[in-house]
Structure 1
Amino acid sequence: MKTQKTLFLAALLAGMTLLFACGQSNGGSEADTAASAPETAAASADVDPEAKSDSKGIGKFTNVKLDALDPAMAAKGEAVFTAKCSACHKMTDQKIVGPGLLGVTKRRTPEWIMNQITNPVEMAAKDPVGKALLGKHLTQMTFQDVTDEQTRQLLEYFRKNDSK
């Protein structure tokens, strides 16, 4: 009986951890989120989150230069993705918690992608595409504490996935 309780508590803790990791991290309560949801939906009603956008987003990345695909950097990006992103995203068009990422480099600028990874809360609050994505998926992307270098590696992994 004690083993069953221990297993139940461990499973409960793991489930709560996953929900916390993929849920909101903006410090607001559910009531705060519910109160702002209509505002977010209204602000993003005219933006199609699936459409191509040339926006650079909001954050420190304003000019990302891309060279030929770097396979070694993409491999590092895949490892970062597996560790930090795969609980909520797939590299296909399948939605889990967040949207599938297939074709993301065709729809978004490198700057937007890197700003979304490193500045997701402000992007959801102020960027029209970020607002539209939040309105569609109803879950705030959380900051995963990735470095600028890891963010660039993720971008390279996305580029490799989209080049297939």
Structure 2
Amino acid sequence: MTNVIYRIDWSDDFCHAQQTRAPTHETAEDLPRESDPFCRLCCNNCLRWRHRIDTSWRGWPPGAAAASEEAAPAGLITAAEITLGEIDQAMVEKGKATYDVKCQACHSTGPNRVVGPGWKGVTERRKPEWIMNMMLNIDVMLETDPEAQKGLEECLVRMPNQGLSKDQGREVLEFMRTL
């Protein structure tokens, strides 16, 4: 007897599911071990592959649309909390000093990766609140943000929480804006 793989087809309202048999050539024996969904779910770090899920197929996973409409997890900084104006040189100097002590070992001010990504142009690629949350709320971001999870997968090293205050984070952001 062979193990048959089933797929679940969700209804448009995600309330009803129907199992349909996968094509007959797709049995568990036919699949390479690394593509075994159970192995990926249970043996590997789920957060490392979650961003790869194709969500274009009928809104999979169920409730994905509702989850994206929920508020940001508690404790995360929102866009309303960050006001960017002209570059404040005093903040830039303080941010540079913080960078020299806490960030320079892993991040360059150029485009190249050291351990973590280089910072050149980061304020053009990412929103200010995303950058602040990566500095101040790294654990929550790695649990909930697909882009942060993708970055972890690329760098292979989890960024440690540096214990920055909100003011220090804002100063480092101001420094990043000058790069």
Residue in 2 that maps onto 1:61: 77
**Residues 36-84 of structure 1: CA distance to partner in whole angstroms, max 9, x if unpaired?**
43x233212269xxxxxxxxx7543112110111111101100000000
Structure 1 CA distance, aligned partners of 2:167 and 2:49? 35
Alignment equivalent of 2:52, drawn from 45, 50, 64:
45
AA partner of residue 105 (structure 2): A
Residue in 2 that maps onto 1:159: 177
Residue in 1 that maps onto 2:142: 124
Residue in 2 that maps onto 1:4: none
Alignment of structure 1 residues 6-17 onto 2, 5 Å: none
Residue in 2 that maps onto 1:99: 117
Q: Which has the higher helix share?
A: 1
Unaligned runs of 5+ in 2: 1-41, 55-71
Please, what TM-score do these two structures have when normalized by structure 1?
Answer: 0.67
Residue in 2 that maps onto 1:136: 154
AA partner of residue 120 (structure 1): I
Structure 2 CA distance, aligned partners of 1:148 and 1:156? 12
Alignment equivalent of 2:98, drawn from 66, 77, 80:
80
Residue in 2 that maps onto 1:31: none
Structure 2 CA distance, aligned partners of 1:107 and 1:46? 22
Residue in 2 that maps onto 1:27: none
Structure 1 CA distance, aligned partners of 2:43 and 2:107? 27
Runs of 4+ residues over 6 Å off in structure 1: none
Question: Is 1:148 the counterpart of 2:155 in the alignment?
Answer: no
Structure 2 CA distance, aligned partners of 1:76 and 1:141? 21
Structure 2 CA distance, aligned partners of 1:90 and 1:108? 17
> Counterpart of 2:118 in 1: which secondary structure?
coil
Unaligned runs of 5+ in 1: 1-33, 48-56
> What's the Cα RMSD here?
2.2
Please, what TM-score do these two structures have when normalized by structure 2?
Answer: 0.61
Greater C-alpha radius of gyration: 2
Structure 1 CA distance, aligned partners of 2:89 and 2:76? 25
